[in-house]
Amino acid sequence: MNKKLYLPLLLAVLVAFVGCKKMGGLKAEYFTVTPNPLEVVGGEVPATITGQFPEKYFNKKATVVVTPYLVYEGGETAGTPYTYQGEKVVGNDQTISYKLGGNITMKTSFKYIPAMRKSDLYLAFKVSQGKKSYDLPRVKVAEGVLSTAEICDPNSLTPALAADKFQRIIKENYQADILFLIQQANLRSEELKKAEVQDFQSNLKDAAAAPNKKITNVNISSYASPDGGVKLNTTLAENRENATVKYMKGQMKNNNVEADMTAEFTAQDWEGFQELVSKSNIQDKDLILRVLSMYKDPEQREQEIKNMSSTFQILAEEILPKLRYSRISAAIDVIGKSDEEISKLAASDPKSLTVDELLYAATLTKNPSEKAAIYKKATEIYPNDYRGFNNLGMVNFEQGDLNGAENNFKKAAKVNPNSPEVQMNLGLIDLTKDELNSAEQAFGKSAGVNELNDALGVLYMQKGDYTKAVRAFGDSKTNNAALAQILTKDYNKAKNTLSAVSEPNATTYYLMAVVGARTNNQKAVTDNLKKAVSLDSNMAQQAATDLEFAKYDISSIK
């Protein structure tokens, strides 16, 4: 063969051979994963994979699809695939140089399931060269998923109680005014016979006779108008007080009323004068009020006002007569049923109780079944009061009956859709369903509810915003609050929070063990895991596959 023809032919064959040659497998050392191990954030397992194709590796005519896979017992989940192309491929994907290689970055996320706790992250490579395609060996790039965030438990939240308005002692107050003529202290019959005074005496008599009422005080306050001298008015106000006290003692004796009586008098009622003037339609009232503020001496005040002759005439006719009086008042306690009476009636005759008494009865028992029975009666007897439905749903929620809770919360919402307690509780149901947007909307309508901050804390944790969750929890002493502190690496605060949990459970001690693991305290790990497992045997299996304890010997914990 002609040598001039041989050399080009050899080169063509060599190029064709190189072009068809399969790409080899890649090493794990070419790739880095952040974080490693992977970690659950907001119900997802995010990962950022950085890597490189080495020099003289990437075929110029090849296309490579790289797909992350999280592989666990019983299955695998694919992440976001990324496509890379050689220098001679026409396309819009990232081009990798054959001679120099190239760096790549892939961001992916997997919807978390518990099986992923014990898993491996692999990269799969599918190569296409012309009409041929083949798979390269998968490369393991990370191991395990840290699932501590999943300990967050919306089911442990406390629903909002729609409180009763029961008051054992209700305060009642009655009063009546007896007017006097100018510079007189005698009680006139027309004043004593007027309806205001007669009704007062009747109410006082009824209260004395009622078994559930107690008169705590009868008071007499007597006044003189500020248009006389201080000496004259002092005598006048004191005489009015004496006359009224004598009258009331006689009335109380006749009506069999026994009660403490107090009395006082005011010689010149400037405060009352100022109040009446400010509320009047007197043309010069602003001027009068300025005079009152300018002069502190009572006699000077009186003289300056009298100097306004035309105005003083109006005051004498419209204002001053109303300041010559004795006011009699009575404070009465209306005493309601005792706790024992309410509890008995709730069981035997609930219809005899008001709705507030019935709702209060449920707070007198710690038995969930008894509470539920009382609230159910409230819904039957008072179906137009949302509180019975709401509180029955609250008991359902606390007992783990989420369907029953949701049904009752919805019934409460039909009666009172604007109740912040009901909206808060509907938001809790949404949290348990992982419906975070609707939960957030419901919580936005729950301002003022005491339990809202803890619910918001859980919402933010489920969204993966742990810093915001910590702020929402504030000083709450709950497992969820401590978990948020662990996830923001405030281990000392988390430990203090867990130590203050009022009723510690298996989760409390498990989180204590996590704090121990993250602060390199072997004893805290083993001691707290033993306590957790003693309360819930399932915790042993959870701990065995938990990466939090990977470097600790917990084989003795069963």
Question: Does pLDDT of 272 surpass 90?
Answer: no
Q: Flag whether pLDDT at 332 surpasses 50.
A: yes
Residue 11 has pLDDT above 50, yes or no: no
pLDDT tens digits, 15-27: 444 445 789 999 9
Count Cα atoms within 13 angstroms, Cβ side, for 130: 6
Residue-level pLDDT at 309: 52
Name residues whose C-beta falls within 8 Å of residue 445's C-beta, 6 or more positions apart in sequence. 418, 420, 423
User: Which range has the worst mean pLDDT, 210-224, 278-292, 337-351, 374-388?
Assistant: 278-292
Compute the average pLDDT of residues 479-496. Answer: 97
**Can you tell me the distance from the alpha carbon of 195 to that of 201, in angstroms, rounded to the nearest whole number?**
10
C-alpha span between 391 and 355 (Å, rounded): 13
CA atoms of 392 and 375, how far apart (whole Å)? 5
43 has pLDDT over 60:
yes
Comparing CA positions, the residue from 430, 434, 470, 433 lying closest to residue 453 is 470
How many other CB atoms sit within 10 Å of the CB of residue 424?
Answer: 27
**pLDDT higher than 50, residue 497:** yes
pLDDT, tens digit (0-9, with 9 covering 90-100), for 273-308: 888 888 888 877 787 778 777 777 777 777 777 776
What distance in Å separates the CA atoms of residue 499 and residue 535, rounded to the nearest whole number? 17
> In sequence order, what are the beta bridge partners of 266?
223
pLDDT of residue 7: 43
Q: For the chain, what is the mean pLDDT?
A: 91
pLDDT digits (tens, 9 = 90+) for 392-421: 999 999 999 999 999 999 999 999 999 999
Cα separation, 422 vs 448, whole angstroms: 12
Q: Report angle CA 368, 474, 496 to the nearest 5 degrees.
A: 85
pLDDT: which is higher, 169 or 95: 95
Phi (first) and psi of residue 167, to 5 degrees: -130, 125
Average pLDDT estimate for 37-63: 96
Give the separation between CA 108 and CA 78, rounded to whole angstroms.
9
Q: Which residues pair with 104 in a beta bridge?
A: 51
At 26, is the secondary structure helix, strand, or coil? Answer: coil
Strands 94-95 vs 82-85: parallel, antiparallel or unpaired: parallel
Contact 60, 19 (CB under 8 A): yes
How far, in Å, CA of 207 to CA of 97, rounded? 100
* Residue 282 C-alpha from the chain's centroid: 52
Q: How confident is the model at residue 66 (pLDDT cuts 50, 70, 90)?
A: very high
Given this model, what pLDDT does residue 18 score? Answer: 45
Q: Angle, nearest 10°, between helix axes 420-432 and 402-415?
A: 150
CA–CA gap between residue 148 and residue 248 (Å, rounded): 75
Q: Helices 298-307 and 309-318, interaxial angle, to 10°?
A: 110
Query: Minimum mean pLDDT among 38-47, 168-177, 239-248, 262-271: which range?
Result: 262-271
Q: Is pLDDT larger for residue 15 or for residue 350? A: 350
* pLDDT band per the 50, 70, 90 thresholds, residue 8: very low
Amino acid identity, residue 415?
V
d(CA 294, CA 558): 86
* Total Cβ atoms within 10 A of residue 70: 25
How far apart are alpha carbons 106 and 81 in whole angstroms? 8
CA distances from 441 to 431, 445, 447 (A): 11, 7, 12
User: Contact at 8 Å (CB) between 231 and 324?
Assistant: no
The set of residues, in sequence order, having a beta carbon less than 8 Å from that of 372 and lying 6+ positions away, is 392, 395, 396, 399
Looking up tokens 């693991």 gives 517
d(CA 275, CA 269): 10
Region class of 296: left (phi > 0), else alpha (psi between -120 and 50), else beta: alpha
**pLDDT, tens digit, 9 for 90 and up, residues 139-150:** 999 999 999 999
Determine the Cα–Cα distance for residues 92 and 74; give it in Å rounded to an integer: 37
Give 505-556 pLDDT, tens digit per residue: 999 999 999 999 999 999 999 999 999 999 999 999 999 999 999 999 898 8
> Nearest CA to 426 among 451, 408, 447?
408
5, 7, 8, 10: CA torsion to nearest 10: 120
Q: Three-state SS across 44-56?
A: EEEEEEEEEECCC
| Per-residue confidence (pLDDT) for residue 288, from 0 to 100 | 75
Give the burial string for 151-179 (b: 16+ CB within 10 Å, else e): bbbbeebebbbbebebeeeeeeebebbbe
Percent of the chain with pLDDT over 70: 96
Q: Which two tokens stand for residue 468?
A: 């915001």
The full set of domains in the chain, from first to last, is: 23-146 (2.60.40), 169-335 (3.30.1330.60)
Provide the pLDDT for residue 392: 98
Half-sphere exposure of 407 (CA within 13 A, CB side): 7
Nearest CA to 81 out of 124, 51, 135 is that of 124
pLDDT band per the 50, 70, 90 thresholds, residue 319: confident
What confidence score (pLDDT) does residue 75 get?
A: 95
What is each CA distance from 9 to 3, 21, 527, 557, in whole angstroms? 10, 18, 77, 73
pLDDT exceeds 80 at position 483: yes
pLDDT band at 220; cut points 50, 70, 90:
very high
pLDDT of residue 6: 46
